[in-house]
Structure 1
Amino acid sequence: MATTYKMTYFNVRGLGEPIRYLLVYGGIDFEDKRIGFEQWPAMKSTTPYGKLPLMEIDGEQFHQSAAIARYIAKQLKLTGDDDIESMLCDIVVDTFSDFRSQMTSWFREKDEAIKEKKRGPLINETVPFYMERFEKELEKNNGYFVRGKLTWADFYVAAVVEVMEDMCKISCLDKYPNIKAHKEKIENIPQIKAYIEKRPKTPF
């Protein structure tokens, strides 16, 4: 019997999109259960740690988006050719997660005065700090993040950078041509392109 996959996440791209990209790329059938934010309070206590996305594999529940994505990547042989390349993939994803956490922290700030005060440093300092380094990594690795080959790190960054731009209402990719070209390259992989064309339209 074939393995069954069911991913539960909000009806947004967010941290679920790298997982969806990998599943789609690998031709893995999965149930894409999307819930409304209003459904979450009643559902939260039924999840292992009160977090989404949640992946069920043959009925067994797993959480932590990066761990889920890494597991799928291993099935697809997208974690590099040796332990060093596997570590390099993790470094890219973990570093990008550090970047994302700073962006989402600003996005979730409720006090508009504080939010406005933080926006300048975020756009003028945090974004260039990370994006300039990612830009150089792509240049060094012939358009990919790990030693010139396609890995799950590429799917992760391409999916999440789009979400971050939408959340923070910034458009910075034109300043970083390697990152822009990389995102477009991943989005034009036939399986990913077909998925993007039919996925639900969401704000982020």
Structure 2
Amino acid sequence: MSTFVAHKLINLMLDSLITSKTRLKLLIKFFVSASNQGYLRGLADEFQESTNAIRKELNQLEDAGYLEKKSEKNKILYRANTQHSLFKPLQKLIHTFLGIEDVVDQVLSRSGGVESVSLIGDYAKGLDSGLIEVIIFGENINQAYLLQLAAKVAEKLNKEIKLYFNINPQEGQRIILYTK
């Protein structure tokens, strides 16, 4: 089965299994990187959703054991439960959905001083439009390498990839994929 066909099947499967766009955004946020965490108001701002919608999904994901929470400075922080038996399969599914499978670690090690990577645009909204937009912040970033790699990945996924370096995102949703 080609990578393109597998990617399309994953997208169809996720869209049919996860009908809540808010839940999909939360799963992407927490499972793309085990170090990602967030609190209710921050997630509501990040996703431009009501705190009630975020709270409902966080509670359901925590009740199912996919997320864990801890109190820190009068805030409740949520993060993926890495001890859950489905953590690795879910993380792989999210990576496949985003088209980043096994390249994240390799990219970060070769791309210079990357401090953060954020997904913006349609994919941050949970929509598969065919355009993947990514903002990369950092110092001494190897832009040539990242642009070359983006072109290869775009061809492999049959999608367009736009990289932005050290810019502030416009109003809209974003999902932080990596922070140092």
| TM-score (normalised: structure 1) | 0.28
Larger radius of gyration: 1
Relative to total residues, which structure has the larger strand share, 1 or 2? Answer: 2
Relative to total residues, which structure has the larger helix share, 1 or 2? Answer: 1
